[in-house]
Amino acid sequence: MSAAPTTETKPAPPAIEKIKVKVDGREIEVPRLTADWSGKLMPTTMIQACELAKTDVPHYCYHPKLPIAGNCRMCLVEFGTPALGPDRKPILNPDGTPKVVKSPRPAIACATPVSPGMEIYSNTPGVKQMREGVLEFLLINHPLDCPICDQAGECKLQEYSVDYGQSASRFVEPKVHKPKSVDLGPRIMLDDERCILCTRCIRFTKDIAGDDALGIINRGSFNTLTAYPGKAFDNNYTLNTVDICPVGALTSKDFRFQMRVWFLKETKSVCTSCATGCNILIGSREKKIYRYTPRENDAVNGPWMCDYGRLNYKWIGREDRLTKVQSPKSKVQGQPASWSSALTEIAELLKKTPAGSVAIIASARQTNEELWLISKLKAKLGAISDSVSRMGEGDKLLVSADKNPNTNGAQLTGIAANLMGANLPKIVEGIRNGKIKTLIVFGEDVTRHGMGADLLGKLETLIVSDILPNATTKLAHYLLPGCAHAEKRGTFTNTKGRVQKFMKAVEPPGDARPEWEFLHDLVCNVTGQDGFLTIEGLFNEMANAVSALNGLTWAGIGDAGVTVKI
Amino acid sequence: MPSEYRLILKYADEPGYTPDIECYLRHGGYDALKKALALQPKDLPDGAKRSGPEQIRQEVMASGLRGRGGAGFSCGLKWSFVDRKSGKPIYLICNADESEPGTFKDRQIIHKDPHQLIEGMIISCFANDVHLAYIYIRGEMPDGARLLNRALQEARAKNFLGKDILGNGYDLEMHVHRGAGAYICGEETGLIESLEGKRPYPRIKPPYFPAVLGLWMCPTIVNNVETLCNVKHIVAMGGTEFAKLGTPNNTGTRIVSLSGHVKKPGCYEIEVGRATIGQLIFDANFGGGLRDGRKLKAVIPGGSSAKVFKAGEKFKIKDKEVDMLDLPYDFDSLIQAGSMSGSSAIIVMDDSTDIVGALANIAEFYAHESCGQCTPCREGSLWMSKALHRLTHGEGRAQDADYLVKIADNIPGGRTICAFGEACAWPVQSFVAKFKDEFVDKGAADEERRAKKSKGAGPGMEMKLAASQQH
């Protein structure tokens, strides 16, 4: 398979000198410098070297995308460095190898740089004892309320207790009591007794979100995490602190007490709330989605996502979802139509339309594959097409001003006008003067874009596919219930041209079908050309046909996506 | 019989000696500064030139001066680590956050002779190309801060501070910054954080060594009050001459804060190593002995964090068996004996002392003062304090001695960010190791009493957890 084309033509990083270190007796080469949390090249640390050596070093406060704090002391390791003689030259063992002298004091792997010839010992009895000591200290004042804690199942205290914990506590003193159920902000609850004071949340909100909202008050074991008195912890990134909290101190008001995490199925997906396309995991159980969490992708969102996007999933499970296919006949009969009859009827209708009498308004919330299939219809019917632009406010971190997840897909497939929305007045005019007799609408309420009920009433045929009911769906002659992204597979092209795929998390409700599936049938019926019935084949076919996507394959874009020239 | 050797406190206790600049000038004040500023570049045999500041640094190195704050690290070496090529300003901070229990020497200097400190600081700043210096004084010393501020004003008025000092072209400004009452601000990187307006969380080293990434991420020197005063005397008398005071590698004088069960507690300045612990406690020139009819029980030789010495304890030093009381009071001997001279504060305990109660008192202090940044110290210090509180309030157990040591063993030895871990663990480790019987007996007695009360239902039945301390 040839390499996929990409615009990621960053200048090759300067060659970084490699140094040799040993991790638990195994020699590996590591770069002398490694990018730190902010991307700046800094001396490689022990924990980074251990990661390269595939040696796990337990840690709480360390996070690769946050400034280093070094306060939890869980990552303490022992190490040795080559001994130097008085002449500053290495002292050699009888066998000619450099003599390595073990440091009398341990070091925190997260902050200590490696040096040539260094030996890191991460599995000695001494290191194990230190980890046991730290874990015991972290647990003595911890409420041990795992049975009612939302973090249970993804808690670092639980995880490391398996490796370094004691079966019984020898602590007989009363525990320190701290505030419980602290309402930190509109989306965050804090349990200070569970907090291990690692300061990840403080560092995140100060250094990543740029809102220095959290801090620690009091002293010693009475240290207490808090928001500034009288102020709410409220920025668009607060829920990331729930993700990075290694324990159950910070919980999401939206998710707490809703579902045990071990029951959740995690599906790789992409957020659709804006054109950034943050990579996410959808946590679902049976038919219900319980949460979105960011999925790390350094080319897009790092390990973060915004609160708005994270909580924008509830519409998927709405009671009033469109679940029934509808045709003019079924509308009269009060019965739902079948997919096959409706699609056949639509195909017959479309085949009879004179060129130029059909307009298509697709949505930049649809997938590349769907838009490409629509473009085939468009070509066959000689239709005018466009989609609806959604501009809002962006920010410096992740949120894009473009609220459509697939503006670039709509452009690349030729569905949207060069200036998205520029064709809409032409379509309005066409309907008004009677030239356009058939309108196909996907996922947009065109009544809000200059096409009121009176105008739509002039049409001979209005074919609408959508997910939720709106004024346009009410007027539709043919209504085709579609799927949310979480209910189907496909790809979006984000604002930077990154083509990213997403997988299916839950079953669509009722008769709703992924648009690409019924579009495939429709295109086949209208054009007489069969296509692929799998998303993989469809994507690959599209990649061959759309020049910007040439060379891409469904398998080749992987979970992290590939950036194309837009 | 050894006697005091007053170098720094030479005039401080003289009748009529006042902390104002006129009095200081009458006693030869700021002469050493004038001498320092007047130093001419010296030609070296290899043709290079050594500037005045470099000569002062050379003298400090030659003097063998060791830090008087607690660690006893070579001052000359500390100065040599300063990154002078970074292009960033270099700061000097005087650490006047004297808060180690038992220590009250810096307070004497600040209250009685503030200009000596300021002169020492100006010389040290000149030697290190510093143009902005701070005196970080603990919040509980409001009078000291007031005195220092007045002294700074006086020094400015006489052009010992400010622009173009004494026409030499050297500029220096100096400010007093008051702490808010936290022991941890005496830790140099905690102090720097506090000075920057943050919580005094000590910084991790590496990478934040003050000599490279100190105040505002600039190279910074942090020295103790007494250390900086010594610099003045090193310049006045010359490094080699200074090194003749005291004993080899333990040069100069030290002000010993003697407290506890002695007849004459107070500050005594001695040549380092020229008096033993026994002499400091018993000689008429110093402590004047214990209260009548009392016997010595224990001595904490270097502030409350130092490991305790038990009366009659013997040490092997250079193949000789030395009694605790015969240890010369210097840096190295005390380290060899397993403790330290720390901030040179000797706390004397006679046989009236409840050793468990004494340790409970110390442990409560450290539990209260732990900044809480890193896990072992944050959790361990309070745990030990709670256990000791229980033990001193009738809820002890015979196993508590071992229990305490097991907790303490998980704190020091590089497990924590700063030396506070050692400071809170060493007293517990040493007290329990050296007076284990008292801890076990106390716990056993409690168990027995509780067993009687519970009529054989078991000693643990009545242990009231609520008796433990709540802050």
Q: Which candidate in A137, A157, A200, A223 is best for mutational testing of the B interface (most B CBs within 10 A)?
A: A137
What is the count of structural domains for chain A?
3
Pair (A32, A107) in one structural domain? yes
Pair (B28, B154) in one structural domain? yes
Contact A239, A280 (CB under 8 A): no
* Interface contact B381, partner A, CB < 8 A: yes
CB environment A363-387: b (16+ within 10 A), e (fewer): bbbbbbbbbbbbbbbbebbebbbbb
Give pLDDT, residue A6.
52
Which of B371, B386, B403 comes nearest A170 by C-beta? B403
Give pLDDT, residue A163.
95
Pair (B43, B120) in one structural domain? yes
d(CA B315, CA B323): 6
Pair (A370, A458) in one structural domain? yes
Distance to chain A for B381, nearest Cα, Å: 8
Q: What's the pLDDT tens digit per position in A60-119?
A: 999 999 999 999 999 999 999 999 988 888 899 999 889 999 999 999 999 999 999 999
Question: In this complex, do A171 and B383 lie within 8 Å of one another by their Cβ atoms?
Answer: yes
Contact B224, B67 (CB under 8 A): yes
Pair (B116, B203) in one structural domain? yes
| Domain at A478, CATH number | 3.40.50.740
Give pLDDT, residue A8.
54
In a domain, B463, yes or no: yes
Which of A72, A170, A222 comes nearest B375 by C-beta? A72
d(CA A476, CA A159): 54
Pair (A421, A465) in one structural domain? yes
Pair (B205, B266) in one structural domain? no
Pair (A183, A312) in one structural domain? yes
Residue numbers in A near B183 (CB within 8 A): none
Question: Burial of B164 by CB count in 10 Å (0-12 exposed, 13-18 middle, 19+ buried)?
Answer: exposed
Contact B443, B401 (CB under 8 A): yes
Pair (B279, B390) in one structural domain? no
* Interface contact A173, partner B, CB < 8 A: yes
Pair (B258, B220) in one structural domain? no
Higher pLDDT pick, A333 / A301: A301
Chunked into runs of 10 residues, chain B (471 residues) has average pLDDT values of 93 95 96 96 90 96 95 96 96 97 96 98 98 97 97 97 96 97 95 96 96 97 98 97 96 97 97 96 96 96 96 92 96 96 96 97 97 97 97 95 97 96 97 97 95 67 48 42
Last residue of a domain, one of A123, A138, A162: A123
Q: State yes or no: pLDDT of A7 exceeds 70.
A: no
d(CA A205, CA A213): 7
Phi, psi torsion values for A175, nearest 5 degrees? -75, 155
* Interface contact A223, partner B, CB < 8 A: yes
Pair (B339, B376) in one structural domain? no
Domain of A70, in residue numbers: 18-123
d(CA A556, CA B1): 89
User: Which residues, in sequence order, are CB contacts of A196 under 8 Å at separation 6+?
Assistant: A60, A72, A138, A142, A157, A246, A247, A249, B375
Ordered strands of the A461-466 beta sheet: A384-387, A358-362, A438-442, A461-466, A478-481
Pair (B154, B265) in one structural domain? no
Range A284-297 average pLDDT: 97
Please say whether the dihedral angle defined by the alpha carbons of residues A525, A527, A528 and A534, taken in this order, is positive or negative. negative
Pair (A178, A238) in one structural domain? yes
Question: In this complex, do A174 and B470 lie within 8 Å of one another by their Cβ atoms?
Answer: yes
Question: In this complex, do A71 and B367 lie within 8 Å of one another by their Cβ atoms?
Answer: no
DSSP 8-state symbol, A207: I
Residue numbers in B near A172 (CB within 8 A): 387, 390, 463, 465
- Write the Ramachandran bin of A85: left for phi over 0, alpha for psi from -120 to 50, otherwise beta: beta
Question: Nearest chain B Cα to A105, which residue?
Answer: B414
Q: Residue B222 is encoded by which pair of tokens? A: 């942090």
Residue numbers in B near A215 (CB within 8 A): 199
Look at residue A134 and give its three-state secondary structure. Answer: helix
Contact B403, B442 (CB under 8 A): no
DSSP 8-state symbol, B306: S
What ipTM was predicted for this assembly?
0.94
* Listed residue (B147, B150, B152, B111) closest to B133, CA to CA: B152
| Domain at B195, CATH number | 3.40.50.11540
Last residue of a domain, one of B185, B211, B243: B243
d(CA A5, CA A180): 53
Pair (A503, A389) in one structural domain? yes
Average of per-residue pLDDT values in chain A: 95
User: Which residues, in sequence order, are CB contacts of A265 under 8 Å at separation 6+?
Assistant: A283, A284, A285, A505
CA contacts within 13 A on the Cβ side of B398: 9
DSSP 8-state symbol, A366: S
Please say whether the dihedral angle defined by the alpha carbons of residues B435, B436, B439 and B441, taken in this order, is positive or negative. negative
Q: Which candidate in A129, A172, A178, A223 is best for mutational testing of the B interface (most B CBs within 10 A)?
A: A172
Distance to chain B for A134, nearest Cα, Å: 6
Q: Residue A131 is encoded by which pair of tokens? A: 């980890």
Pair (A182, A104) in one structural domain? no
Pair (B421, B343) in one structural domain? no
Residue numbers in A near B376 (CB within 8 A): 73, 133-134, 137
End-to-end CA distance of chain B: 47
Residue numbers in B near A212 (CB within 8 A): none
Give pLDDT, residue B58.
96
Distance to chain A for B304, nearest Cα, Å: 18
Q: Which candidate in B201, B368, B415 is best for mutational testing of the A interface (most A CBs within 10 A)?
A: B415
d(CA B145, CA B159): 21
What are the angstrom distances between the C-alpha of A199 and each of A245, A302, B115? 9, 19, 42
d(CA B160, CA A3): 72
* Interface contact A73, partner B, CB < 8 A: yes
In a domain, A333, yes or no: yes
Length of chain A: 566
Range A241-249 average pLDDT: 98
Pair (A198, A336) in one structural domain? no
Last residue of a domain, one of B243, B263, B291: B243
In a domain, A33, yes or no: yes
d(CA A464, CA A141): 59
| Domain at B341, CATH number | 3.10.20.600
In chain A, count H helices and then E strands: 15, 24
Q: Containing H/E element for B43?
A: strand B42-43
What is the count of structural domains for chain B?
3
Last residue of a domain, one of B243, B263, B283: B243
Pair (A239, A357) in one structural domain? no
Range A310-324 average pLDDT: 96
**E strands along B301-440, which residues?**
309-310, 314-317, 320-323, 345-350
Q: In this structure, are strands B246-247 and A182-183 parallel, antiparallel, or unpaired?
A: unpaired
User: Which residues, in sequence order, are CB contacts of B104 under 8 Å at separation 6+?
Assistant: B98, B257, B259, B267, B345
In a domain, A547, yes or no: yes
| Domain at A272, CATH number | 3.30.70.20
Residue numbers in A near B368 (CB within 8 A): 219-220
Q: What's the pLDDT tens digit per position in A226-240?
A: 999 889 999 999 999
Domain of B343, in residue numbers: 254-350
In a domain, B201, yes or no: yes
Give pLDDT, residue B466.
44
In a domain, B14, yes or no: no
Question: In this complex, do A219 and B371 lie within 8 Å of one another by their Cβ atoms?
Answer: yes
Question: Nearest chain B Cα to A215, which residue?
Answer: B199
Pair (B26, B153) in one structural domain? yes
d(CA B131, CA B138): 23
Residue numbers in A near B465 (CB within 8 A): 172-174
Question: Nearest chain A Cα to B397, which residue?
Answer: A172
In a domain, A159, yes or no: no
Distance to chain A for B357, nearest Cα, Å: 18
Which of B368, B413, B466 comes nearest A220 by C-beta? B368
DSSP 8-state symbol, B250: E
* Interface contact B442, partner A, CB < 8 A: no
Which of B182, B413, B466 comes nearest A105 by C-beta? B413
Pair (B205, B298) in one structural domain? no
Pair (B102, B179) in one structural domain? yes
